[in-house]
Amino acid sequence: MNALDAAPASRFSRNDHPAVPRPALGAWAPTATVSVVVPAYGGQDRLDLLLAALSAQTYPEALLDVVVLDDGSEPPLRLPELRPLRTRLVRAAAGRWGIPSAVAAAVDAAEGEVVLRLDSDLVPARDHVEAHARWHAAADYLVVVGKLAFADVEAGGFEPAGVRDAVAAGRADALFADAVASADWEIGLVREGGGRVLDELRAFTIANGATISFTRSLYTGCGGMDAAVPLGSDTELGYRLAQAGALFVPDPEARAWHLGRSQMNSDRRAGKRFRHPFLADRVPSLRYLREEPGRSWTVPYVEVVVDARGAAFEAVRATVSSVLGGAVSDVAVALLGPWSELSAAGRVAPLADPLLDLRLIGECFAGEARVRRVESVPASSAPVPFRLSLPAGAAFTYDGLAGLVAFADERRVGRVEVGVRADAGPAVAVLDRTAALARAERCRAEGESAAAVLDAVWGVASVDGGDWFAASDAEPVRRLRREHGREATARGAAQRRLRRRIAALKPKRQPLSRRLRRGAGKVRSALRRLRGNR
């Protein structure tokens, strides 16, 4: 049992990090081992300064585990003499390279219950590790982000011993004096909230790769780093940490200085251009990156589970068609049914098949890539941010699903229970927020009601679905046709307006005066006569 396992589950709602108790720096007794993982590629002089600063931390040296991952540097990196006692250098495996792969390998080699990732070109204040670690004693699902300042300096201007002494004396800021290019790197969301991040829907966007910490259990639970994302992996990891139930904490007392300007500051446009396609495919909550209509993505926005067991073919078809043809295109449908029985059935007359409806349902959507057959549903839909359990026969209007999700976001609730008319009569559709379910499960005591905990940590709303669902089986088809027609008409009108605007920007030919037209006519006549005389 580690130090964090011994603590009782603490319950904090949404992203209410101000409610999380934390001790003052220097006024508590740490017990958890913190592994500082440092991915590094070249820059031996910068690494030397980081390790010198880490050797002067207030966190107990016996509880400080440092792992440096050399990501294929030439010449290879080495550990300097001035470093924390428990510091190890790990070489990247052959064929593996890049920041996310290096971070993953370093975490794998780490020994601590808490993981603190630092860039190799940082100089952290003496209480940086302690500032991070104190939060994780409160709950195992916190993600702490430190505060950076960028110093426009080169590592060659410092000696490791001088950095160690300044950090130990609490004078790290004096090292950079007037060289600080920005007083702090405060994320827009933190700045908007006056140092707080209470917007639980966007909280994951504060995740960065320079100074961020989390528990090993939370990191493992979300799936770890995605090595296929060369840039932007910090945001992508933050998103999946959120789906695992994370609460994000910006800590202004976890100070560090970055040597040189960040890549995003130096070439912001190129950085965004590279990151956006990777994030658009993996982070559906960044809706502004998914502006193209009708697209499918690796991670859908909503997973819709339709129970086809014993349901009529027509009812399931109406329900699934309303989902696939609606305004939200990045959906995935899971048809729940005993599909293996279809192949196990022997010879039977087609119209007397006891599994006829199930067979017709499977055939109806066999060619639809967004629909899959399942015989069971896992407890979590992560990394998909929403799961909707929809009874057969309940059919959305064109923008019904979009409206339901918008309602959940506006109310900031973890679950919406919707009264609907289904094939078997009145029923309830349930929209669950993945992040809320994960938080509730982390906080739930043995034998405690999962629904009650979910209500406590995120909230539950119950509404009538009249605004989002069609009144009859035929209505969704008619409504979809009308809406698609309106959409096509609107697109055509928009294209015509665009063509007119483009035409208006082109230089217009000025009409010739009457005298010039008469003169031009005489010239043309003379040219014709000349040709005739040849």
pLDDT in tens, 338-392: 999 988 777 887 887 788 999 999 999 999 999 999 999 999 999 999 999 999 9
CATH number of the domain encompassing residue 144 = 3.90.550.10
- Among the candidates 471, 486, 502, a domain finishes at 471
334 within domain boundaries: yes
Beta carbons of 395 and 319 less than 8 angstroms apart: yes
83 within domain boundaries: yes
Whether pLDDT at 152 is above 60: yes
Report the number of distinct structural domains present in the chain. 3
Angle of the 434-443 helix axis to the 233-243 helix axis, nearest 10: 60
Model confidence band, residue 205 (pLDDT cutoffs 50, 70, 90): very high
395 within domain boundaries: yes
65 within domain boundaries: yes
Residues 6+ apart with CB under 8 A from 117: 36, 37, 38, 39, 103, 209, 211, 212, 213
pLDDT of residue 510: 57
Please state, in angstroms and rounded to a whole number, the distance separating the CA atoms of residues 210 and 118: 5
pLDDT of residue 190: 78
3-state secondary structure of 230: coil
3 within domain boundaries: no
Average pLDDT over residues 63-69: 97
- Tally Cβ neighbours within 10 Å of residue 232: 21
Cβ-based burial of 360 (10 A; exposed 0-12, middle 13-18, buried ≥19): middle
Most confident of 259-268, 317-326, 498-507: 317-326
Residues 6+ apart with CB under 8 A from 337: 307, 308, 309, 358, 361, 362, 373, 374, 375
Cβ-based burial of 495 (10 A; exposed 0-12, middle 13-18, buried ≥19): exposed
Task: State whether 65 and 149 are in the same domain.
Answer: yes
List the single range of 125-139, 164-178, 344-358 with lowest mean pLDDT: 344-358
Task: State whether 75 and 221 are in the same domain.
Answer: yes
User: What's the one-letter identity of residue 312?
Assistant: A
Whether pLDDT at 20 is above 80: yes
291 within domain boundaries: no
Task: State whether 307 and 403 are in the same domain.
Answer: yes
Starting at the earlier edge strand, list the strands of the sheet with 386-390: 371-374, 331-336, 302-307, 386-390, 425-433, 415-422, 460-464
19 within domain boundaries: no
Residues 6+ apart with CB under 8 A from 64: 33, 34, 36, 54, 57, 84, 85, 86, 129
Task: State whether 325 and 258 are in the same domain.
Answer: no
Task: State whether 465 and 503 are in the same domain.
Answer: no
> Pick from 223, 254, 252, 224: which is nearest to 131 by CA?
254
Beta carbons of 139 and 10 less than 8 angstroms apart: yes
Element (H, E) at 499: helix 474-505
342-345-351 Cα angle (round to 5): 80
- Among the candidates 223, 243, 267, a domain finishes at 267
Q: Which domain holds residue 103?
A: 30-267
pLDDT of residue 1: 39
Task: State whether 426 and 518 are in the same domain.
Answer: no
Task: State whether 230 and 357 are in the same domain.
Answer: no
Beta carbons of 83 and 53 less than 8 angstroms apart: no
pLDDT of residue 493: 64
- Over residues 448-499, the pLDDT tens digits come to 999 999 999 999 999 999 889 987 554 554 555 555 556 556 656 666 676 6
Task: State whether 77 and 214 are in the same domain.
Answer: yes
Task: State whether 451 and 478 are in the same domain.
Answer: no
Higher-pLDDT residue of 352 and 308 is 308
Task: State whether 166 and 43 are in the same domain.
Answer: yes
202 within domain boundaries: yes
Task: State whether 259 and 376 are in the same domain.
Answer: no
Element (H, E) at 529: helix 514-532
Task: State whether 248 and 366 are in the same domain.
Answer: no
